[in-house]
Structure 1
Amino acid sequence: MILGLTRSWSLAGYIITAILILPLIALIVQSTLPDQAVFSHLFNTVLPTYIANSLLLMLLVGLGTLVLAIPAAWLIARCDFPFRRYFQWLLLLPLAMPAYIVAYVYTDMLDYAGPVQRVLRAWFGWQSPHDYYFPAIRSLGGAAIILSLVLFPYIYLLARTAFMEQSSSLLYASRVMGCSPWRSFWRLALPMARPALAVGVALVAMETAADFATVSYFAVPTLTTAVYDTWLGYGSLTAAAKLSAIMLLVVFSMIGVERFARRKQQLFQKQSSLNEADRYVLSSKMAWVALGYCALLLFIAFLLPFMVLCAYAIDYFNESWDVRFWQYSLNSLYIAAIVSGVCVVLSLILMFVRRVSPRKSDQIPARLSSTGYALPGTVLAIGVLVPLTFIDFAINDIYDWFGARGPGLLLTGSVFALIFAFCVRFIAISIGSLENSYKRISPSLDMACITLGRTPTQLLWRVHLPLLRKGIFAGALLVFIESMKELPAALLLRPIGFENLATYVFQFVSDEKLEHGALAAIVIVLVGLVPLIYLNRSLEQQG
């Protein structure tokens, strides 16, 4: 921070921040308004069930992801077995698969009419559901299993990093003191990794709380589905805002846990690198067990659903390859392109102000602008509807006052609401990307530029922009991909008759006809693989 900015730059940062946090403020204000009829009815009837299901689902998914991720992370980080180097990035692939698509595939396979139960009935001669017991996939437990399969890479990635950064000298010392590899893991490595695991569980819990499509498909009532149903079913924006405020309380509690756990990570003793000699050389039998576990986890969480999608796409290619597919693909592309461009420009202004301003108050806008990423899609949609609806009515009232016909739902009835919501939610990604890039630019370059008499605008244009190209590209790419995949906000905010790939696929999932939307689903999955490839390359370069 070496440069005094002109008031226009600083003011621009505050205006951008005020616009981006407007949905959050409007949501909180709207939730304080009286709405005795709808919310009181929900409070006295189904709200306790919504809250209990949400908390129980977060607990089950947190436990499930820990059980799946910790063994894989330990094997990849500290053991040597065939194809380990490939599995260290292959196990990230389930993040690219939307959970509701995995839910559909396994429901189709495991339901009463599915191939698994048909084979069991043929083998054992069962005639009806009363002859045997088979766990119901369409249940809260089924939703927890599906979400665990999709979300375990969050914990796997953090746990793997934590295990790799632990000092080998401590593990050697435990072995000298007579601990077996298992006892060394249980009594030393796992306790030291607890802060990273707490961070991962908090992230998983936040993603679980924000999930709408999977719980909706399984008919599991949670707070996310309650917000959606209250707005579309009861038409009460205030009641939906109250439910959203409850979700905000849950989400920000998770953020608080995550920040507290990350604070304790500085207590770890880290080493700069992990040599191949530091890994346990597994016996032939155990090596095959490790290989089988990683392969089975990858197959169940990603390969099997993806192969089923490919089979659907081939069988129903003529039905999928139509005008609607191209139209909805173009809708997704141009919405995502606009959002990524706007987010990059706004985040560049915010980070430039934060970089060069000597005033501590100018550091606040960039931090506040990132809070939208913590909002679940349905909550964000309600937060966007509140101020935009007010503005729409105000514009029409002005037209009526002048005796003219108003434009109608100018903001909420167009793609503007969708673009605005995506910008609020995903600008944190581009801010984070630019922040990392700015850390690599020496402050001496700023000093030299100002010494030569250049203005702040010239500093940004001639010095910072050329050096930030990779960060700008990475941020724009990640925002673009997230905008292509976002579903809950798109369902609530899309104009009448407007569809993108995410809503198009979910419509087929809801109608039990994913076969007809498999091609669009494959596009979403392939697009989701891009940030994972980028992440893997970044990790390899850091390694």
Structure 2
Amino acid sequence: MSSIISKTPRAAPRLLSWGALVVAGLCLLPMLAVLIAALTGGTDTIAHLADSVLGRYAANTGLLVILVSLGTFAIGVGSAWLVTMTRFPGVRLFEIALVLPLAFPAYVLAYAYTHVLDHPGIVQTSLRSMMGWGPRDYWFPDIRSLGGAAVMLVLVLYPYVYLLARASFLQQSGSTFMAARALGSRPLVAFWRVSLPLARPAIAAGVLLAVMETIADFGTVAYFGVQTFATGIYTSWFSLGDRTGAAQLALCLLTFALLLAVLERKQRGQAKYHDSSQGQKQHPPIELAGWQAAAALILCGLPVLLGAVVPVISLLSLGIGSEQDLFSPRYIGFVRHSLTLAGLAAGLTLVAAILLGYFQRMQPGRLASGANYVARMGYAVPGGVIAVGLLVPFAAFDNALDAWMRATFDVSTGLFITGSIWLLVFAYMVRFLAAALGAYEGGQARVHANMDAASRSLGKGPMATLRRVHLPILTPSLLTALLIVFVDVMKELPATLIMRPFNFDTLAVQAYRLASDERLDGAAVPSLVIVAVGLLPVILICRQVGRR
């Protein structure tokens, strides 16, 4: 009887239901606003864009997606298989160290490697000194190019593929791999024909996550001068003052992003496929020695070296010689603004995640599932698109309100909503709610349904059950969600650049501004602070990897 009671969902309170639906509706608002603004803006702008820059934006964005997909696949899958299926000196260290580049925004790596690889950098300076070359006597790859941007993105995004691929390899049974070996297949052949197909859904999900981050990136491509949809939206909005063009470019990027979101969800649904014998026998690790161990050490060490060690050394060398004082009143203001935005956004996003997650638990069905799906779509929408989608309707509201107040009371309200930090905090919530939902639902799986039944039998309502049963158990997951959103907001650049109130700059904006002025030594200081904060959730992930 108790099992029957435990599986019977209880109707969610009206306040909880409306709260969850309002959150989902607010998450849908920027996408609808972009769609309406783009379709009602006429065809003259999009025709002009098609004749001038649209093809370049599409080609650069598409090529960047292809390069990042191939790079993250190769590094993520290769390193995951080596640390999972083989044993070589330092393998335990690399299990954790391979996650570290996840703490670095791609634009920070762009600043660091420009200092190292640009014409006046240490690498080219040393080459000219050793070889006696003049400035025009040699060729060196240009870091400020589409290829350079792709490398920066690959170095910080491959951990998505690594984590998911490693988890899938760990769940696989060793029986199929050993059967392939018994039939005469070499380890690499068995990996290609057995292990890789079994892990395909998880790998595809990781690559798609990396691709979604790629199309959302603004700081890296803008600094390297690569024209993509993300930079085009910013240029149309600010440099050209063309709101219609920005909305239509945002619609193009939104369509591509939502297509990727659908593919990612489909792959995640297929990721349930694993060998049913996985609990019977684990794969015996392959002991590597000699040149094979050295090759594995190099293959796993290079991503960590290039994605974490070299950038930190480069930024430290720049920051030490800069005139930026982190403890000056101006920098304390940047830090305070960043912490304020990150704290408010993390708290609001966590509350929204609890509303949606608990609503789906209390009243499972199409309505709750649809609300959660809409809320998760924000992660696939670039920050620039969300910014345009929110500024268009709220700027119209501000203008209408100001006109009415002037006509009625002879008082100007100005930018009542768009001039505040709350619209920016709302944009962060839309962008990162999926991450908070994932952490919340991962912890909610530990709350057995019988606990709800026991709470109801003691006379506790749904909200009391949430407060006294769920939240204490979910505290670690809630803190993880809070920290992930906090750090993501600290690193976020495009929405902050477009929507920040006047004279309300953050560390990310300050780093971008100084780097745009070619003051890389100054940009290193706020970049190091962002990286230091970004290491917090990565440490949590590393601890989980270590326990596993």
Interval containing the TM-score (normalised by the shorter chain): over 0.9
- Counterpart of 1:283 (choices 255, 270, 289) is 289
1:397 deviates by: 2.8
- Counterpart of 1:455 (choices 416, 439, 461) is 461
Q: Secondary structure at the match of 1:21?
A: helix
Matched, 1:534 2:540: yes
1:454 deviates by: 2.8
d(CA) in 2 for partners of 1:294, 1:358: 44
- Counterpart for residue 64 of structure 1: 71
Matched, 1:425 2:442: no
1:416 deviates by: 1.8
Aligned pair in 2 of structure 1 residues 7, 217: CA closer, same or farther (>3 Å)? same
**Could you report, residue by residue, the CA deviation over 1:327-372 in whole angstroms, capped at 9, with x for unpaired residues?**
1101111111111111222222222222212664244323322221
TM-score (norm 1): 0.94
d(CA) in 2 for partners of 1:420, 1:217: 27
- Counterpart for residue 403 of structure 1: 409
**Could you report, residue by residue, the CA deviation over 1:228-250 in whole angstroms, capped at 9, with x for unpaired residues?**
10111221222211111110111
- Counterpart of 1:2 (choices 6, 9, 14) is 9
d(CA) in 2 for partners of 1:365, 1:40: 36
- Counterpart for residue 478 of structure 2: 472
Letter in 1 for 2:186: S
**Could you report, residue by residue, the CA deviation over 1:426-453 in whole angstroms, capped at 9, with x for unpaired residues?**
2222222222222211222222332333
- Counterpart for residue 25 of structure 2: 18
- Counterpart for residue 117 of structure 1: 124
Structure 1 residues 89-128: aligned runs within 5 Å: 89-128=96-135
- Counterpart for residue 506 of structure 2: 500
- Counterpart for residue 343 of structure 1: 349
Q: Secondary structure at the match of 1:266?
A: coil
d(CA) in 2 for partners of 1:359, 1:254: 25
d(CA) in 1 for partners of 2:360, 2:312: 43
1:307 deviates by: 1.1
Report if the CA contact (8 A) 1:412-1:493 is conserved: yes
- Counterpart for residue 170 of structure 2: 164
- Counterpart of 1:309 (choices 312, 315, 327) is 315
- Counterpart of 2:378 (choices 346, 367, 372) is 372
d(CA) in 1 for partners of 2:197, 2:24: 40
Report if the CA contact (8 A) 1:165-1:274 is conserved: no
**Could you report, residue by residue, the CA deviation over 1:168-213 in whole angstroms, capped at 9, with x for unpaired residues?**
1111111111112222223322333332222222111111111111
Q: Secondary structure at the match of 1:267?
A: coil
**Could you report, residue by residue, the CA deviation over 1:457-487 in whole angstroms, capped at 9, with x for unpaired residues?**
3222222222222222222121111111111
Aligned pair in 2 of structure 1 residues 458, 247: CA closer, same or farther (>3 Å)? same
Letter in 1 for 2:528: I
d(CA) in 2 for partners of 1:198, 1:417: 34
**Could you report, residue by residue, the CA deviation over 1:239-282 in whole angstroms, capped at 9, with x for unpaired residues?**
2111111101111222222233333333331624985x710011
Number of residue-to-residue matches in the alignment: 540
d(CA) in 1 for partners of 2:218, 2:356: 31
1:319 deviates by: 4.1
- Which runs of 5 or more structure 2 residues have no equivalent in the other structure? 1-7
TM-score (norm 2): 0.94
Letter in 2 for 1:32: L
- Counterpart for residue 41 of structure 1: 48
- Counterpart of 1:298 (choices 301, 304, 319) is 304
- Counterpart for residue 4 of structure 2: none
- Which runs of 5 or more structure 1 residues have no equivalent in the other structure? none
d(CA) in 1 for partners of 2:12, 2:202: 39
- Counterpart for residue 239 of structure 1: 245
Aligned pair in 2 of structure 1 residues 320, 442: CA closer, same or farther (>3 Å)? closer
Report if the CA contact (8 A) 1:101-1:509 is conserved: no
Aligned pair in 2 of structure 1 residues 278, 288: CA closer, same or farther (>3 Å)? same
- Counterpart for residue 5 of structure 2: none
Q: Secondary structure at the match of 2:37?
A: helix
Report if the CA contact (8 A) 2:64-2:214 is conserved: yes
Aligned pair in 2 of structure 1 residues 233, 39: CA closer, same or farther (>3 Å)? farther
Report if the CA contact (8 A) 1:95-1:153 is conserved: yes
Matched, 1:518 2:521: no
d(CA) in 2 for partners of 1:362, 1:196: 25
Letter in 1 for 2:440: L
Report if the CA contact (8 A) 1:35-1:239 is conserved: no
- Counterpart for residue 144 of structure 1: 150
d(CA) in 2 for partners of 1:175, 1:357: 49
Aligned pair in 2 of structure 1 residues 455, 140: CA closer, same or farther (>3 Å)? same
d(CA) in 2 for partners of 1:66, 1:528: 23
Q: CA RMSD in A?
A: 2.0
Report if the CA contact (8 A) 1:31-1:245 is conserved: yes
Report if the CA contact (8 A) 1:91-1:298 is conserved: yes
Matched, 1:388 2:389: no
Matched, 1:218 2:236: no
d(CA) in 1 for partners of 2:279, 2:334: 48
Report if the CA contact (8 A) 2:115-2:520 is conserved: no
Matched, 1:80 2:87: yes
- Counterpart for residue 234 of structure 2: 228
Matched, 1:438 2:437: no
d(CA) in 2 for partners of 1:266, 1:339: 33
Query: Which range moved further: 266-275 or 63-72?
Result: 266-275
Report if the CA contact (8 A) 2:261-2:377 is conserved: no
d(CA) in 2 for partners of 1:341, 1:536: 24
- Counterpart for residue 183 of structure 1: 189
Query: Which range moved further: 173-182 or 109-118?
Result: 109-118
1:318 deviates by: 5.8
Report if the CA contact (8 A) 2:164-2:203 is conserved: yes
Letter in 2 for 1:86: L
Aligned pair in 2 of structure 1 residues 320, 462: CA closer, same or farther (>3 Å)? closer
**Could you report, residue by residue, the CA deviation over 1:147-180 in whole angstroms, capped at 9, with x for unpaired residues?**
1112111112222222232221111111111112
Query: Which range moved further: 21-30 or 377-386?
Result: 21-30
Aligned pair in 2 of structure 1 residues 78, 392: CA closer, same or farther (>3 Å)? same
d(CA) in 2 for partners of 1:185, 1:508: 47
Identity across aligned pairs (percent)? Answer: 38
1:524 deviates by: 0.6
Aligned pair in 2 of structure 1 residues 202, 273: CA closer, same or farther (>3 Å)? farther
1:95 deviates by: 1.2
Aligned pair in 2 of structure 1 residues 327, 433: CA closer, same or farther (>3 Å)? same
Structure 1 residues 229-268: aligned runs within 5 Å: 229-268=235-274
Report if the CA contact (8 A) 1:3-1:358 is conserved: no
Aligned pair in 2 of structure 1 residues 123, 167: CA closer, same or farther (>3 Å)? same
Report if the CA contact (8 A) 2:491-2:530 is conserved: yes
d(CA) in 2 for partners of 1:48, 1:359: 43
1:317 deviates by: 6.1
Report if the CA contact (8 A) 2:95-2:546 is conserved: no
- Counterpart for residue 34 of structure 2: 27
